[in-house]
Structure 1
Amino acid sequence: MSSVFPDFDLVLGTDTGVGKTHVSAILLREFSAQGKTPAYLKPVLTGGSGEDSGSDPSRCRVLSGVKSLRTEWLLAFPEALDPMTAAFRSGVTIDPATLRDAVRRLGESHALVVEGTGGVLSPFFADGSGILSAFERRDLDRSRIHLVSHPHLGCLSQVLSAVRVLEHLGVHCLHLVCRPVPDPWPLATSLNPDTLRRLLPDIPVRVHLPVLA
């Protein structure tokens, strides 16, 4: 095993249900088109099993269109809760070292996409820390952070808070993805992406994403 932590893509959100899995599938499809061997890791699943048709790994397999896509998860809990609470109620501890080892193992042989759960600060481990606490700063320096948000009324505070957290950790956000809804858009939804571009001039903001089957 190499002493250098591998590159990987980390998809984080400002909230749950904002489109992290959709963005993960786009990345996996792009990697496959580039001739790379992609893999998808959802460290913790809540609300069901990874084999369920509606689970994030299953959706990634379908949406990405990548044949024989390798998908993994470390733990799955039946209740749709934050990982910390779901693990506590199941009498299980989520081990940061196990997560880091899984990223290293998959990242050394694949173009790896890791999808977080909930928002940037969603409690992940028993001490209440988020998913980023599993990694050393030098690990995150080798990652590409994709932040996903909805573009609707209320997103400005959520996005700015998430970006400030990443900045405090010394982590650069590669870009912000505002996954839109079908037309017609409410006024705030139409204006918020440009507002975010003005407020965060160093972070590219993407809105128009490929439509996946």
Structure 2
Amino acid sequence: MNQPTIIFVTGTDTGVGKTVTTAALAASLAAAGATVAAYKPTQTGVTGEEAGDMDEVRRLSGIWSVTEGIRLAVPMAPVAAAELERRILPSVTQHVNNISEVLETHGIVLVEGAGGLLVEMDERAHTLADLAGRVKELARVLTIVVCRSGLGTLNHTELTLEALDRRGLPAAGLVIGSWPESPTDLERGNLRYLNSLRVPLLGSLPAGASELAPDTFRERMPHYLHLPQLWSES
């Protein structure tokens, strides 16, 4: 029997492609036979019945178990958005309980963060890294770092990897969230560098992947990601 697994999807920054990467992971893992769910602790910048990141993951990947911890309308970091809306953010314990409940019926839970690894999630300054540390007792915990292809990505990626390592949360792999059809010399150089790191580069998603028809997305994404260590018995 495969070991229950929680995969945290974090990014070197905001807007690097975490949601499309989460969807690609969900589609690829589901195609490999896993029962997959996705959870976003805090969704900001979305109001009412608007489609949020988890709705996009469902649309593209085809998995149906997607949930949010809280939804805030203001497009800001969670603590600032909650303060403006006079809302109380869920505690880390609440997020742990939510993930634990989903894990009862799914082999893999993807947890998509907001912004980068150390963005605060609640009024006690807990971050996605703190949440990852708290759920270790529930299942095997892996972290995937989504990075850019262009200028600045090397430093941001190294900083994120160092922050994970210092917290005992070494990354399982990197994913370039958007790889251009015609990469520049800079981007090709970045790709070579990222491929040389101790953390494996799991793949590069093509720019515009989220614009693909869902059936096409589900068919193609497993070819862009190499995930042997994420779906194996151990």
Q: In structure 1, how many angstroms separate the alpha carbons of the residues matched to 2:129 and 2:123?
A: 14
Deviation per CA, 1:71-130: give whole Å up to 9, x if none.
Answer: 110111110011111122222133110001111111121121110110011122213331
After the TM superposition, which parts of structure 1 deviate over 6 Å for at least 4 consecutive aligned residues? none
2:24 match: 26
2:109 match: 112
- In the TM superposition, residue 50 of structure 1 has moved relative to its aligned partner by 7.3
Residue 93 (str. 1) matches residue 89 (str. 2) = yes
Structure 1 stretches lacking a partner, 5+ long? none
May I ask how many residue pairs the two structures share in their alignment? 204
Please tell me the residue identity of whatever aligns with 2:7.
D
Look up the SS of the partner of 1:32 in the other structure. Answer: helix
- TM-score, structure 2 as length reference: 0.79
1:196 match: 194
How has the CA–CA distance of structure 1 residues 162 and 141 changed in structure 2, closer, same or farther, with 3 Å as cutoff?
farther
2:5–2:140 Cα contact (<8 Å) kept: yes
- TM-score, structure 1 as length reference: 0.86
Q: How does 1:1-213 map to 2 (within 5 A)?
A: 6-49=4-47, 51-53=49-51, 55-66=52-63, 69-91=64-86, 92-110=88-106, 111-134=108-131, 135-136=133-134, 138-139=136-137, 142-198=140-196, 200=197, 202-209=198-205, 211=209, 213=212
Point out the more displaced range, 28-37 or 99-108.
Answer: 28-37
Q: In structure 2, how many angstroms separate the alpha carbons of the residues matched to 1:27 and 1:129?
A: 26
Q: Percent of counterpart pairs with the same letter?
A: 27
1:50–1:56 Cα contact (<8 Å) kept: no
2:17–2:178 Cα contact (<8 Å) kept: no
How has the CA–CA distance of structure 1 residues 77 and 182 changed in structure 2, closer, same or farther, with 3 Å as cutoff?
same
- In the TM superposition, residue 139 of structure 1 has moved relative to its aligned partner by 4.0
Q: In structure 1, how many angstroms separate the alpha carbons of the residues matched to 2:110 and 2:139?
A: 15
Please tell me the residue identity of whatever aligns with 1:203.
V
2:176–2:205 Cα contact (<8 Å) kept: no
1:12–1:145 Cα contact (<8 Å) kept: yes
Please tell me the residue identity of whatever aligns with 1:182.
P
How has the CA–CA distance of structure 1 residues 171 and 20 changed in structure 2, closer, same or farther, with 3 Å as cutoff?
same
Structure 2 stretches lacking a partner, 5+ long? 213-234
- In the TM superposition, residue 162 of structure 1 has moved relative to its aligned partner by 0.3
1:93–1:125 Cα contact (<8 Å) kept: yes
Compare the two structures and name the one with the higher helix fraction: 2
Look up the SS of the partner of 2:179 in the other structure. Answer: coil
How has the CA–CA distance of structure 1 residues 36 and 180 changed in structure 2, closer, same or farther, with 3 Å as cutoff?
closer
Point out the more displaced range, 106-115 or 84-93.
Answer: 84-93
Please tell me the residue identity of whatever aligns with 1:171.
L
1:94–1:126 Cα contact (<8 Å) kept: no
Look up the SS of the partner of 1:128 in the other structure. Answer: coil
How has the CA–CA distance of structure 1 residues 159 and 34 changed in structure 2, closer, same or farther, with 3 Å as cutoff?
same
